[in-house]
Chains A and B, each alone.
Chain A
């Protein structure tokens, strides 16, 4: 990872004028030599955090894949019980929210405070929309006894091009276990994201961010996009198994 390009530049742009900067900048933390170094550090830290998120969800994707290969018919039959409409709607909601986030970052960059707050608020509302729809989906699962546990029931069959293949309800329960863990963990990240953007909207309204300093907006945006990407994979993997039959 260490590429020589950044090595030389780091070496040459090192810090000698530390003291003067500190004197002028209360927002610059003491141990950084200048604002650029502070911003680069924060950005690198955020990207590394995103890598930990990839690996965190990656464990579940690995489990999903192993079980899908082992119990394909049950996974397909169970997947077909999910609502494509709600899943696709939520996908669209998240994509639109990613657009509003990136527009918010742009608004921050050019210093349009009200526009920034507006985009952040819309993002939070879109996030909440996603969660409400997810709530309806979960509710439907409860009503149809598709929640794993003592009350779990599954009587559907796998429709393989008109041929009805019975599936082991236990294996369908495994699918729903994975479904709830993955979407639940994703929803938890959405809730955290909504909280994050609510705080940022308030701080933006108070004028904390300037075209020279909006790193928190950028980094929260990166987080939101990653949560979006995870859903981009979850949607086809959970909702769209063998829908053609």
Chain B
């Protein structure tokens, strides 16, 4: 009810004053968008493009779920199924999950949160979006001319001598998308080091900035390795050089080492920024200074570093030495420590706090739940003996969807709702938003929890058929996927709706801490009329009034 009152009041207010010049109304031509160097506009370009790829990847996901509705392979042939899950994986990993939070929310918020006018290299930022678009277009073309069937992991020797699909084109697309990601990371690190507002010291930085800093480290250190690895696969296909060719004494496992050196940390590229988002949400909606600021900040860096030490846990049964497997198993457990530090600190922040159940907070709770399940099952998989049992089963599929989809999307959607007033200058409809948060949470668990059981009782991944006794759980999973699809579609619809009909948002509708709330909604092109000077710690909620009554949230 409060929301309705607020909306009428706000519209009345906005009617008698001309809209302030902001980044959205500063030029309406296509050129002013496509040649922009404004980080906020580039973030919006990214938002549109990653959403497009999310729905393309989602389309393939629905094909997979439909095929698995019945035990027989009645919707498609095995070959087609191979292509479908490959393109689902590649689209989602390289064109959605990796860029989604850093390139959209990070791009929008990093300069705002540190009181800068823009990222350090605005033109490189735009270049990074164009590289993403070139890569995405190449990949779409690759899909249209028949796709690729190697699995998103490009494993050799199948990708070099086995597959007769468009491996090189897909590889090139991933290679270019990698450079897009490198440039984003490089930009963030330089910006965070060089462009902070006066007084904004490292121990006053928002945790979202710390998370993006750690993410950028992985982008810089890991992505080049996967780039060269894909180049090596491509030259092996093109010029018959034999880097990974067993016939020449090459080792296909070396490909896996190089590939996972990036692709395991890449999981942290996806999850770390979402963890940063959750830190912001938890502290704002519990109106309390975050518990253990330094530990959360440093745990991001720790996850980034330790993440580089664990990659061969993807290869336990691939034929690496037992000794190495033990080392990697042992090291993998250490990633659990900083992850647990985060979860414990979030829950400690919630303890005896004044919690508001606004939509962003619902997503934050969803994140904690799903990430905890995903993370704990990760410890199962890190254990050598259990991993032998469940490798390449749906247990693994469920595990990484809980982390990568459950974690990342919960963080992303939570962040989108939280910062939507800043991004668009409008409020979203709270009722619908809560419904969609509920649908996502229920749909997600219904989709993927049965897969843990399926995997544990032996259903292998990447098969288009299965024995009839697995059908009940597969039907549950497909039903859940349908609920999930509605949950994902709803926000897109009401966000678009709110652009025109949403109540006008105030500069700081949540009474949140953080520099991004100290400028107007939406912010002007150069973010701040006056460079802010920071004299306070992050999350000083004890000095900020409660969530205002006008905010469309029930208490």
Whether the pair B190, A41 counts as a contact (CB closer than 8 A) is: yes
Chain B positions 110 through 130: 1 when the CB is less than 8 Å from some CB of chain A, otherwise 0 = 000000111111101000000
Chain B residues within 8 Å of chain A by Cβ, number: 54
Within 8 A of A (CB), among B205-255: 220-225, 227-229, 231-232, 235, 239-243, 245, 247-251, 254
Least Cβ–Cβ distance between A147 and chain B, in angstroms:
9
Whether the pair B228, A59 counts as a contact (CB closer than 8 A) is: yes
Whether the pair A6, B232 counts as a contact (CB closer than 8 A) is: no
Complex partner residue of A70 from B224, B249, B257, CB under 8 angstroms: B249
Whether the pair B247, A51 counts as a contact (CB closer than 8 A) is: no
Least Cβ–Cβ distance between A226 and chain B, in angstroms:
13
Complex partner residue of A148 from B117, B240, B251, CB under 8 angstroms: B240
Complex partner residue of B120 from A45, A56, A67, A71, CB under 8 angstroms: A45
Of A11-19, A121-129, A227-235, the stretch lying at the interface with chain B is A11-19
Of A88-96, A168-176, A213-221, the stretch lying at the interface with chain B is A168-176
A63 within 8 A of B: yes
Which A residues are CB-close (under 8 A) to B239? 148-149
A10 within 8 A of B: yes
Which A residues are CB-close (under 8 A) to B223? 52
Whether the pair B254, A66 counts as a contact (CB closer than 8 A) is: yes
B193 within 8 A of A: yes
Whether the pair A48, B242 counts as a contact (CB closer than 8 A) is: no
Chain B positions 164 through 196: 1 when the CB is less than 8 Å from some CB of chain A, otherwise 0 = 000000000000000000100011011101111
Within 8 A of B (CB), among A127-185: 148-150, 168, 170-171, 173-174, 177-178, 180-181, 185
Which B residues are CB-close (under 8 A) to A173? 242, 248
Of A30-38, A112-120, A201-209, the stretch lying at the interface with chain B is A30-38
Grouping DSSP codes into helix (H, G, I), strand (E, B) and loop, the B interface class, with mixed when no group exceeds half, is helix
CB closest chain-A residue, reference B115: A14
Least Cβ–Cβ distance between B175 and chain A, in angstroms:
11
B258 within 8 A of A: yes
B197 within 8 A of A: yes
Whether the pair B228, A45 counts as a contact (CB closer than 8 A) is: no
B354 within 8 A of A: no
A245 within 8 A of B: no
Given contacts A7-B201, A180-B241, are A31 and B232 in contact (CB under 8 A)? Answer: no
Within 8 A of A (CB), among B36-86: none
Distance, CA A168 to CA B249, complexed state (A): 9
Complex partner residue of A51 from B119, B220, B229, B261, CB under 8 angstroms: B220
Given contacts A31-B526, A170-B247, are A59 and B117 in contact (CB under 8 A)? Answer: no
B398 within 8 A of A: no
Which B residues are CB-close (under 8 A) to A33? 531
Whether the pair B249, A7 counts as a contact (CB closer than 8 A) is: no
Whether the pair A53, B243 counts as a contact (CB closer than 8 A) is: no
Least Cβ–Cβ distance between A173 and chain B, in angstroms:
5
Whether the pair B235, A30 counts as a contact (CB closer than 8 A) is: no
B272 within 8 A of A: no
Which A residues are CB-close (under 8 A) to B232? 59-60, 63, 181
B93 within 8 A of A: no
Which B residues are CB-close (under 8 A) to A44? 189-190, 193-194
CB closest chain-B residue, reference A8: B201
Least Cβ–Cβ distance between B224 and chain A, in angstroms:
4
B200 within 8 A of A: yes
Whether the pair A59, B190 counts as a contact (CB closer than 8 A) is: no
A62 within 8 A of B: yes
Whether the pair B242, A12 counts as a contact (CB closer than 8 A) is: no
Complex partner residue of B241 from A48, A51, A170, A181, CB under 8 angstroms: A181
Distance, CA A137 to CA B539, complexed state (A): 63
B199 within 8 A of A: yes
Which A residues are CB-close (under 8 A) to B116? 31
Complex partner residue of A41 from B120, B182, B242, CB under 8 angstroms: B120
B158 within 8 A of A: no
CB closest chain-A residue, reference B250: A174
Distance, CA A201 to CA B189, complexed state (A): 30
B549 within 8 A of A: no
Least Cβ–Cβ distance between A219 and chain B, in angstroms:
12
Which B residues are CB-close (under 8 A) to A48? 186, 189-190, 220
Whether the pair B240, A55 counts as a contact (CB closer than 8 A) is: no
Complex partner residue of B242 from A11, A177, A185, CB under 8 angstroms: A177
Which B residues are CB-close (under 8 A) to A40? 194
A74 within 8 A of B: yes
Question: Can you report 19 residue pairs joining A to B where beta carbons are below 8 Å apart?
Answer: A7-B201, A14-B198, A44-B190, A44-B193, A48-B190, A52-B220, A52-B223, A55-B225, A56-B228, A59-B261, A62-B258, A63-B232, A63-B258, A148-B242, A168-B249, A170-B248, A174-B248, A174-B249, A177-B241
